[in-house]
Amino acid sequence: MGRPNRFITLVEVEGKIVRSHLPDPGRLKELLIPGADLLLRPIPEGSQRKTKFSTVMVRHGGELISLVSALPNRFVKELLEKNQLPILKDFQYVRSEPACGNHRFDFLLNDANECPFYLEVKSVTYVDNGLAKFPDAVTDRGARHANALAELALKGTGAGILFVCQRSDAHKFEPMWDRDPKFSQALLKANQGGVHVWCITSQVSETEMTFERQIPVNLIPPE
């Protein structure tokens, strides 16, 4: 298994090396290691894409972990529409990708008083000894979103960031301060300014993603 750039993996399939698109641009160094057991999906017939496969999952520590960074958004949307996400059970889904000023967030909800609540969803794949961390690669976009949500919260508008761990072995969440201090600081300040921050874990199979549990969040920087 090789990775010539952020979006391509070289995978052995039936004795041949194939180029496969990777839909997660993160570093993923603890997951994409030589000999890793990967799940590929062929592209639809008629597609003009150069790569004929997508690398969608990796088996690590006995469980499947999704490598599709867009999957948590689809997953959370389904939970919101069915009101099956416990931490947001008092909210009503309004629409996806709402524009707000110069920003576009993942979801617009209404709270119990029918006031708007903007929600961002972030995909988490990094877990070390039960500790989930984000991001595993610098995310300027993530910092901008955290700052924008903080501005909304200061004006009295509801706002939150939901980290979705695409695996079930995490017991606590922290920002990855050593890798992206700018985002980590923005997340801490946003939370201090009234932005809700949650993290949930999930169980991933080849056919579905299911909610596992909410885990504690620690935003305090290490000393």
pLDDT of 50 above 90: no
1-37: per-residue pLDDT in tens? 677 777 888 888 888 888 889 888 778 888 888 888 9
- Of 3.90.1150.10, 3.40.1350.60, 1.20.1560.10, 3.30.420.40, the CATH number of 71-215 is 3.40.1350.60
Q: Return all residues near 157 (Cβ < 8 A) that are at least 6 apart.
A: 115, 116, 117, 118
- Please tell me the predicted confidence (pLDDT) of residue 113: 93
The number of C-alpha atoms within 13 Å of 67 and in the hemisphere containing its C-beta is 31
- Please tell me the predicted confidence (pLDDT) of residue 181: 96
pLDDT of 46 above 80: no
Give the pairing type, strands 92-96 and 116-124: unpaired
- Please tell me the predicted confidence (pLDDT) of residue 1: 62
Report the length, in residues, of the chain: 223
SS3 category, 211:
strand
Write the DSSP symbol of residue 116.
Answer: E
CATH architecture of 2-66: Beta Barrel (2.40)
pLDDT interval class at 49 (50, 70, 90): confident
Query: Considering the chain, what percentage of its residues have pLDDT values greater than 90?
Result: 70
Q: Which residues pair with 127 in a beta bridge?
A: 132
What are the residue boundaries of the structural domains of the chain, listed by start?
Answer: 2-66, 71-215
